[in-house]
Amino acid sequence: MSELAVVFGGSRGIGRAVSQLLAARGHRVAVVSRHLEAAQAAVATLAGGEHVALGCDVSREQEVQEAFQSIQKTCGNLRYLVNAAGVNRDGLLLRAAQGDMVSVLHTNLLGTMLTCRAALRSMLHKQGGAIVNIGSVVGQKGHAGQCVYSASKAGLEGFTRSLAREVASRRIRVNLLAPGYIRTDMTAGLKEAELVRGVPLGRFGEPEEVAQAVLFLLETPYVTGQVLLVDGGLQLAM
Ligand code: NDP
């Protein structure tokens, strides 16, 4: 059975573009999101055959374990893991509800820890693999109105570097990709015309442009523990 790439958050946006690129390059892809029908719809658009769709909430340990059990039983060896599932609940900290804080931290940070732990069990067994976690430029720079979201993304940086050190000897690489403004559902409500003035390249990025960089991190054998910004130069101007 051919090796597999698992993409959490693969039903929309960046994760979907990653799934499409991986499939176009001949990889088998497992697309995962909370809603099975959304994952199935995304799979239906992928090139080639043998892709699978799974419904799983990354913030729930049991669901993550069951997803990987099902993947191992039916899909064969896991080679790549991409963690693109994420949510934001933007607003000033003074007005933030604890439930929203928990939701953001559990999806973006805990969820990535859970999927990485589950994936490692399979990757360690076959000695090799690559993981790309999706952070954000605000994890490095901070952003008013995004205290909790940027904390979740900053947490991913420490997590990614530490995990890279833990598993390097087993030929497993772990990197973080930090996007700036990318045109997806998550940014649909933003004032693009105003915000692009702060982006040196003068525009929002496309999910496909992030996917290219994810593929680079997955396939480049001598890169681990790194943070790659894909932000049109936004960080330079922040
Ligand atoms: P979208 O909102 O377009 O897509 C989010 C994806 O995550 C969907 O597939 C969604 O599927 C899935 N998802 C959300 N919550 C969960 C969950 N609990 N369990 C499983 N899947 C879940 O977002 P983007 O593509 O824009 O974002 C992808 C990643 O990139 C996120 O981590 C985001 O924080 C990050 N990012 C995005 C930026 C941007 O400008 N767009 C900038 C910087 C970082 P479903 O709803 O079916 O569960």
Residue having the nearest C-alpha atom to atom 32 of ligand 1: 86
The answer to whether the CB of 115 is under 6 A from ligand 1 is: no
pLDDT in tens, 146-175: 999 999 999 999 999 999 999 999 999 999
Closest atom of ligand 1 to 210 CA is 30
- 68 alpha carbon to ligand 1 midpoint, in Å? 20
149 noted as active-site residue: yes
Count helices and strands in the chain by DSSP H and E runs: 10, 7
- 132 alpha carbon to ligand 1 midpoint, in Å? 14
Share of the chain above pLDDT 70, in %: 99
Kindly give the residue spans of alpha helices, DSSP state H, lying in 3-146: 13-24, 36-43, 61-75, 98-104, 111-126, 137-141
pTM score, two decimals? 0.98
Element (H, E) at 230: strand 227-230
User: pLDDT averaged over the chain?
Assistant: 96
Confidence band of 73 (pLDDT split at 50, 70, 90)? confident
Find the largest Cα–Cα distance for the chain: 52
Question: What is the sign, positive or negative, of the torsion defined by CA atoms of 121, 122, 125, 129?
Answer: negative
- 9 alpha carbon to ligand 1 midpoint, in Å? 6
Query: What does the pLDDT average to over 128-155?
Result: 97
Closest atom of ligand 1 to 186 CA is 2
The Cβ-side half-sphere exposure at 10, using a 13 Å CA radius, reads 32
Closest atom of ligand 1 to 135 CA is 44
Share of the chain above pLDDT 90, in %: 92
- 11 alpha carbon to ligand 1 midpoint, in Å? 9
Q: Indicate the SS3 state at residue 13.
A: helix
The answer to whether the CB of 87 is under 6 A from ligand 1 is: yes
The ipTM, to two decimals, is 0.99
The answer to whether the CB of 184 is under 6 A from ligand 1 is: yes
d(CA 9, CA 24): 18
Residue having the nearest C-alpha atom to atom 8 of ligand 1: 9
